[in-house]
Amino acid sequence: MPWRGPQERGEYPTLGYVVGDWIEENLIVPDGPKMGEPYLLTDEMWQWVLRYYRLHPHAVEDMGSEAFVHYGGLLVRPQKWGKDPLAAAQICAHALGPTEFAGWDAAGEPVGRSHPSPWIQCVATAEDQTANTFNPLVTMLRDGPLADTPGLDVGETRVKLPGIGWIEPATSSGRARLGARLTFATFTESHLMIESNGGVLLAKNMKRNLSGMGGRWVEITNAWDPGEHSVAQRTASSAVPGVLVDYRRPRTRVDLEDEAAVKDEIRYIYGDSMASRGGWVREGRIIAEINDPATGENEARRYYLNSTESGTTDAIRAERWAALARLGALLEPGEKIALGFDGSRSRDATSLVACRISDGRLFPLHTWEWDGTPEWRVPRREVDQAVRDAMAGYQVGYLFADPYRWQDYLDAWERDFGDRIVEFPTTTERRMDAAIERVLTAVADDEDPLTHNGDETLARHVSNAVLAKGKKKPPRDDEGTGLPEYYMRVVKKKDGHWIDAFVAAILAYEARGRSIEDDPFVEEVEPWLEFL
């Protein structure tokens, strides 16, 4: 008979209860203080299992994997939530448990059976990543109730299943996995699977193999860096009906200095894996990791607060920036330059950077940084004088300046220096994206790269900057990647790590481009020459 129908609002048919019960009855906790005890799913894990094994109400036994609503799934949760043991448990279930739909019983409840010839792979881009999932399943099978299963041979690198079947880790190139006969696969940390390391091709080929065998897959991952177009990001953005996306998004972008707000958000993001709710994650340890300067703000937000807002990709790699230094380079009085200015009032930095028109070399003129005292304020008159000295000492095409909190001074500079002063709000993402792209392209140019004079403050501000995702770009007809594109932003790795000199350098380099286009360096003609 078919499914019995819903007995309460929102109920749907699922093999998840059968699979979840099998997991709890046959598997053990693979490590930690409760190692060896029965592996019990949290409420959130139960919800994942129920949704992942959801069935079509009119499914019949011979439909295979098409009996399920989802053929794939993406689980996005923070560090130490328990993703790897859960994926290991699902692998064990697909190896030996009732994960195949076998019709409905007399009461209209779903029935499961094991796969007759499972071939399962635990996939990642590196061995240490596959080990995060493979090692727990080894313990679950070798030391738990299933250890004496006839024909089961649990090895450290492969698991031979009874009859025809294997579980194995896979980290080879995408081409090497082409044609593999797979029935189930997990992709560990799919946010690390990107074009440059072969991860995208690897995942694409393996998913193609799975579809040919009627197989299914699961990705488990931390939040991704939006600038890398990883497998995780592609899966989340695809909006394919057959792919379950379970991503607990942050409710807000908390101030990392506000410990109470951070604690509240941690409790929400980690849910019932928190020790206070019977789980294993202790908020004090997570807060310590977030506050560790070595973690960095963007990494803290991604790995512990499940945020994809900010990336962790360095705007410019430190070794590349060092290679672009031209030590001893001097900016001579009277040279043609462009200027960039990024300012603040207190507890931050203000910077004025010059860019030589002839070759694009950057020369920081002055950077004022907060000295750590509550009473410190940017010496605004000193900043004003530095701008006026630069305007008097060099031939300045344009000065691009972020007007935030400096509007009165910009008005005065515009009054005295005219159209050479250009307001450039760094919050205008379209303009800022183009300026960032100009700098990054110049930095990557091997033949004629952007260079600088080796200023240590600028180098530090560059090293403090990472690329982040801004607003979504409007679609373009000539670019059909299928993925949403976002404007680039540069943000701090962590609060208190200044990037203002780098922002000023971006503005200066953009102002140079405008100066070359407009050529504002028109020699003033003496009035009496007009009559000759």
Instruction: Give a yes or no: residue 531 inside a domain.
Output: no
At residue 147, the pLDDT reads: 96
Which CATH number does the domain housing residue 332 bear?
A: 3.30.420.240
Percentage of the chain with pLDDT > 90? 70
Cβ 164 vs Cβ 117: under 8 Å: yes
Q: Would you state the pLDDT for residue 484? A: 62
Does 307 score more than 60 pLDDT?
A: yes
Please report whether residue 509 resides in a domain.
yes
Tokens standing for residue 91: 């692998």
Q: How confident is the model at residue 174 (pLDDT cuts 50, 70, 90)?
A: very low
Same domain flag for 326 and 291: no
Per the domain annotation, does 9 fall within a domain? no
| pLDDT exceeds 90 at position 298 | no
User: Is the pLDDT higher at 472 or at 365?
Assistant: 365
**Among 436, 430, 434, CA closest to 491:** 436
Residue-wise pLDDT for 137-167, tens only, equals 999 999 999 999 999 999 999 999 999 899 9
What's residue 236's pLDDT? 93
Q: Does 484 reside within a domain?
A: no
- For residue 337, how many C-alpha atoms fall within 13 Å in the half-sphere facing its CB? 28
| Residue 415 CB contacts under 8 Å (≥ 6 apart), including other chains | none
Nearest by Cα to 466 from 444, 499, 506: 499
- Most confident listed range (294-298, 443-447, 475-479): 443-447
pLDDT tens readout for residues 344-359:
877 789 999 999 999 9
- Which of 314, 341, 361 is the last residue before a domain boundary? 314
How far are the Cα atoms of 295, 302, 414, 440, 489 from residue 310, in angstroms, in the given order? 14, 8, 35, 18, 9
Q: How does DSSP assign 266-319, residue by residue?
A: HHHHHGGGBGGGTSSB-HHHHHHHHH-TTT-HHHHHHHHH---SEEEEESS-HH
The number of CA neighbours under 13 Å toward the Cβ of 102 is 14
* Residue at 328: amino acid letter: G
For residue 26, give every residue at least 6 positions away whose Cβ sits within 8 Å of its Cβ, in sequence order, or none: 92, 96, 97, 144, 145, 146
Give the mean model confidence (pLDDT) for residues 507-528: 80
**β-pair type (153-154, 100-104):** unpaired
Instruction: Give the pLDDT confidence score for residue 285 in this predicted structure.
Output: 93
Q: What is the mean pLDDT of residues 433-461?
A: 95
Of the residues 205, 227, 247, the one at which a domain ends: 247
| Distance, C-alpha 502 to centroid of its chain | 22
In this predicted structure, which of 35-49, 80-94, 177-191, 419-433 has the lowest mean pLDDT? 177-191
Residue 130, pLDDT > 70, answer: yes
Same domain, 225 and 334: no
Please list, residue by residue across 3-14, b when 16 or more beta carbons sit within 10 angstroms of its beta carbon and e when fewer do. beeeeeeeeebb
Token pair for 503: 């922002």
Check residue 374 and give its pLDDT: 83
Contact residues for 416 (Cβ-Cβ < 8 A; gap 6+): 388
Largest CA distance in the chain: 109
Q: How confident is the model at residue 195 (pLDDT cuts 50, 70, 90)?
A: confident
The whole-number pLDDT of residue 491 equals 85
Q: Are 71 and 145 found together in one domain? A: yes
Structural domain containing residue 300? 259-314
Residues 370, 451 share a domain? yes
Q: Tell me if residue 82 falls in helix, strand or coil.
A: coil
Confidence of residue 529 (pLDDT cuts 50, 70, 90): very low
Confidence of residue 531 (pLDDT cuts 50, 70, 90): very low
Rounded CA separation 74/191 (Å):
11
Query: What are the φ/ψ torsions at residue 142 (nearest 5 degrees)?
Result: -80, -35
Do 167 and 36 belong together in one domain?
yes
Q: What are phi and psi of 25, to 5 degrees?
A: -85, -25
Name the DSSP letter for residue 140: H
Q: E-assigned strands of 336-458?
A: 336-342, 349-356, 362-369, 395-401, 421-423
Number of domain units in the chain: 3
User: Nearest to residue 191, comparing CAs of 94, 257, 125?
Assistant: 125
Q: How far apart are CA 507 and CA 428, in angstroms?
A: 13
* CATH number, residue 131: 3.40.50.300
Residue 122 lies in a domain: yes
Give the pLDDT confidence score for residue 501 in this predicted structure: 97
- Across the range 172-193, mean pLDDT stands at 77
CB burial of 52-82 (b: ≥16 within 10 Å; e: otherwise) equals bbbbeeebeeeeebebbbbbbbbbbbbbbbb
Residue 529 covered by a domain? no
**Same domain, yes or no: 235 and 170:** yes
Residue 275 phi, psi (nearest 5): -60, -35
Residue 527 has pLDDT above 50, yes or no: no
Per-residue pLDDT tens over the stretch 84-104: 999 999 999 999 999 999 999
Query: Which one has a higher pLDDT value, 481 or 44?
Result: 44
Q: Tell me what the mean pLDDT of segment 107-131 comes to.
A: 93
Q: Residue 416 falls within a domain, yes or no?
A: yes
Give the separation between CA 439 and CA 417, rounded to whole angstroms. 26
Report the percentage of the chain scoring pLDDT > 70: 93
Q: Is the pLDDT of residue 478 over 60?
A: no
pLDDT of residue 532: 43
Q: Are residues 305 and 328 in the same domain?
A: no
* Each residue's pLDDT tens digit, 249-285: 999 888 888 899 999 999 999 999 999 999 999 999 9
Query: What letters, b where the CB count within 10 A reaches 16 and e where it falls short, cover 276-302?
Result: eeebbbebeebbebbeeeebbbbbbbb
How many whole angstroms separate alpha carbon 452 and alpha carbon 367? 15
Instruction: Say yes or no to pLDDT of 185 above 60.
Output: yes
Q: Are residues 305 and 206 in the same domain?
A: no
For residue 446, pLDDT over 70 is answered with yes
Same domain, 343 and 303: no
> Between β-strands 465-472 and 362-369, what pairing exists: parallel, antiparallel or unpaired?
unpaired
Return the SS3 of 465: strand
How many residues make up the chain in this entry?
Answer: 532
Ranges of beta strands (E only) in 145-304 are 153-154, 159-160, 166-170, 184-188, 216-221, 243-247
Q: Examine residue 330 and state whether it is found in any structural domain, yes or no.
A: yes
210-242: b (≥16 Cβ within 10 Å) or e: beebebbbbbbbbbbbbbbbbbbbbbbeeeeee
141 shares its domain with 235: yes
Q: What is the pLDDT of residue 238?
A: 86
Say if residue 151 is in the same domain as residue 22: yes
Question: Which one, of 439, 440, 454, 443, lies nearest residue 322 by Cα?
Answer: 454
At which of 196, 223, 247 does a domain end? 247
Which of the residue ranges 164-173, 210-219, 429-438 would you say has the lowest mean pLDDT?
Answer: 164-173
CA distance 169 to 178: 15
- What's residue 523's pLDDT? 55
- 371: its two tokens: 């000295």
Q: Kindly indicate the confidence band of residue 486, based on its pLDDT and cuts at 50, 70 and 90.
A: confident
Residue-wise pLDDT for 203-252, tens only, equals 998 999 899 889 999 999 999 877 677 999 999 988 889 999 999 999 98
Total-model pTM = 0.67
Both 167 and 277 in a single domain? no
